[in-house]
């Protein structure tokens, strides 16, 4: 098995690291980048969007992953 640290996207779905910087993440929330490099968070305002949460975020434990549907866009 090949081990890699590169994220894989399959059928426009992927897993991202996240935090609760903008509050709890629920299914169908827009996800954007947080103040921590490489970590996503709930989008509250206009700006760049990475995608949409496919599930509720369970917690903010380190190394927790959240499944998103990748759909990069600019939210107004």
Which of 48, 55, 47 shows the shortest CA–CA distance to 28?
A: 55
Contact 56, 42 (CB under 8 A): no
Say how many domains are in the chain.
Answer: 1
17 found inside a domain: yes
In a domain, 3, yes or no: no
- 31: in domain: yes
Q: How far apart are CA 22 and CA 60, in angstroms?
A: 12
pLDDT at residue 1, rounded to an integer = 47
Q: What is the pTM of this model?
A: 0.80
What is the DSSP code (8-state) at residue 4?
Answer: -
User: What is the strand order of the sheet 40-42 is part of?
Assistant: 13-17, 65-75, 47-53, 30-33, 40-42
6 in a structural domain:
no
Residue ranges making up the domain that contains 51 = 13-75
Q: When comparing pLDDT for 39 and 60, which is higher?
A: 39
**Position 54 in a domain:** yes
pLDDT tier, 58 (very low <50, low <70, confident <90, very high otherwise)? confident
25: in domain:
yes
In this structure, is residue 2 part of a structural domain?
no
DSSP character at residue 44: -
> Per residue in 18-31, pLDDT tens?
999 999 999 999 99
């Amino acid at each position: 098995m090949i081990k890699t640290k590169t994220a894989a996207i399959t059928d426009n779905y992927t897993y991202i690291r996240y935090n609760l910087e903008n509050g709890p993440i629920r299914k169908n929330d827009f996800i954007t980048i947080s103040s921590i490099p490489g970590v996503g968070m709930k989008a509250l305002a206009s700006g760049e969007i990475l995608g949409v949460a496919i599930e509720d975020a369970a917690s903010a434990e380190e190394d927790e992953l959240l499944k998103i549907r990748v759909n990069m866009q600019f939210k107004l």
